[in-house]
Structure 1
């Protein structure tokens, strides 16, 4: 152990008031698991692993809440609930291990090996309570049972128990008493009225400390002596429990790829022996070389090494080591196929439910009536557990959304929305090919049924998904765009337009949007009085106008005349000007601009704009128009008398692009005048 680790553990022991060894063990597990999450996210595993990763993140947060609780809670109450704390630590460890087992089958082999090392560390974690703290809690529980009918003899019994517990928990000074009372007050504020039994016990502990705190302090020397012997016993017990962890397998028993004890050794063409699962994963990922010697292999056959397997088994029996099949953990939780079926996804969801609500009895004895109810999860903890389970089940049902009853469909969509809101990257690899079409169909059904809440939830999910998963959104097909048409005049038209704005920024989506028939309703929105919808519609058209193929559709459908109102005293003049600039690269566009009433005059006004960008766009539009035919040059000169001086000014003071276009326009005008055309 390095000096940095020693210092960290020393600080941690002082940080946790009680159960420091247990908390440090859990803290190490949390830090180790947290360190690999960025690598897992970067690998973008498939859907089953994304669900497990979401659960893993939630479990880490719950473990951190537990550690924070142990650092701030009352020493007396922590001792009183010691069994419950140990069970929660064990449960956190088990869920972390279980989630990592699912993830490792969906990431590259080298990352999977690192995850296996972490799983090994989790399995070796021991949550052993300090016997002196356990004894203090036991005495407190016994004394608290009859406290509801307090008499003088019972109170004296409680005072004796309190003094004994305080000595074991190092409550030795007036300052310690003050801190303890403050911690109990904080617990009382948090527990509220939802758990009257816990509230009553805390009040009674506070009463005893408030009335007899000074009496406890006067016996600090005696209590210090009482607490001394058990610590050494605890350290001896812990050392004996760690003895197995110190046994190191011979190198020939370890897989050169994973560096772990082999369970099913096989030999490859290079003559090197590996664990079957890991070398098979190596080959499955396309490697054709030996991981150890780096030589290219003539074949990828795996020859079992029965003799070595027997030797490893004998060694394990001799040292009392349990050799675990590395492939067993993941196989019990997820399908070994490349993609997860809906049945296996549902099983995964129910698996998480079992681990959350039905703890393994082997993790600790059944608590008695008092201790089983002595610690309750925080509201945030319960919400995290419930949310995880609901999310897993809802994601499992997504592909069959249409087959569910309407109320269930709404619940699934809402849970999925909440899931994506919590995690930007969560759903990128967890959805399926027709997810977006299915979601749009749900929106249409909600509209047909008049379910406004479902419309809002579904449209928010759709917008959030396409915004946060821009590369995945390109799978939006023409059928889905066509379904959106009916929603453009609904209560969620704003969200639908915002979604189309995001999608229209995708190069691959633009032709599909143009072919879906949705442009007509968008043009209709331009004529409305709703500024928000108008702005979204213009932004969509602006994005679409960057595609040459789509530009032809826009021109044919009469997009250019619809821009004129926005060029005249509108907050959206820049958008309209940009759309015209993008459209005017074809002869059809130039003709439409020249022949549309007030279009040239409106564009020419921007030649005198204070914005150099507006000037640049206006000059570019006029240059495109005049470049096509001489008669268009005459139209420009006829409709705006201020064109000449404005162009001369731009030629001198404009941007480089504007200067070039202005110079060319002036040249064209001079040619016309010179030739008398």
Structure 2
């Protein structure tokens, strides 16, 4: 009797509330801001790929301070994009564990925490040079303001830690806390209505009932059994190959979430079919922004860097297809797709080369991506490709876009691009009339706002070639050749009088005689090239 009571006492002691505190309520590392050490309420992704709390990023920028994260890396805070995907994941986790939604920390608390991280010698007002550098970085986002219909604050993407070895340096570690006192674990009532209608719509979509087809595929995508994952992606690829309606109905946050984590698997059949399925889903215009917001761009970039060769082909095609939507262009560039796409121009796969070139063309329609491509040293490589090979016409298209910005013109003129383009026209080795048009268009772009162009064009013998284009070229090429010749002559008179004329270019600019109107032009007969490939 006594021993029985003793056993009951022990049993009762073990079931005390302190002993049964559930470990699952500890937030995953990916949900915690490395700066604040708290669950993120308004996560954003910065240019370096880190996901941080928005208020912490803003305070760091206001104080001109770049923190060193616990993993030793320094985030690039120049660009900020809302990370709706990880925000939604945090919301679902809170709902599953009975935890109220986190609320952004107070500005004063965030500022106090960040100031505590600043060494005394670094806490100072930004110098003139630092201010100018920040202004230059901010110009990468100015193009968005010119397009009111494009609300880029909702074009959210994410970089989460993925279950493969395809990690970038910015994703190595997302610790739950940092030395010092973390911000309070602030929450708001679960009945709180977010001001972000985009986020609410996204949440409603993921909580809506699944169709039988979606449910069957999603269950297998998230299965721990490899053969079920393979069955799911093969089935999804077949269904979306030709059925446009199914592409739309199956492109849901739930399915994209399951598909995203299989993009970088080390099982070749799963990876190849996963990326091909994503290409098929991206063929529908209504799906393109959804796919980018689901956080699929970072794993696609990882596939380009080290995936299976066939998967790399499909990844290049997927980025090309997604880049056709204006709302995706800047996000894809910010997330780091430009360097691997440039590298893929040298791929052994013809399809990978061509789709990468088309992706770069559409991405380079955005000013921020043009600047990045120039800084990546793409001009010499593209000039070599433009002289010959299967990518000549597409390399010219990209060069035309780069020549439309001041940085691109400067680098192209330094790289003897004028002599290159004139030489191509002289040899008449261009493969098509459209390629010849683009070559003239590139010269026309270089002639805009550049006092150096006239001298370089004379040295290259451009006048004779352009006169020939005026006679034998297409209507578009003739018009551009005519304008270049008029600019070279200065007054529009015959070139026979040109040698006797001294043109005061600086005076003309000061007086406004020389038009400095910047024209947006399109390189090629079509403004965009539709991706109609199916896989």
Give TM-score, length-normalised by structure 2.
Answer: 0.49
- Structure with the greater alpha carbon radius of gyration: 1
Q: Larger relative contact order (C-alpha < 8 A, sep ≥ 6)?
A: 2
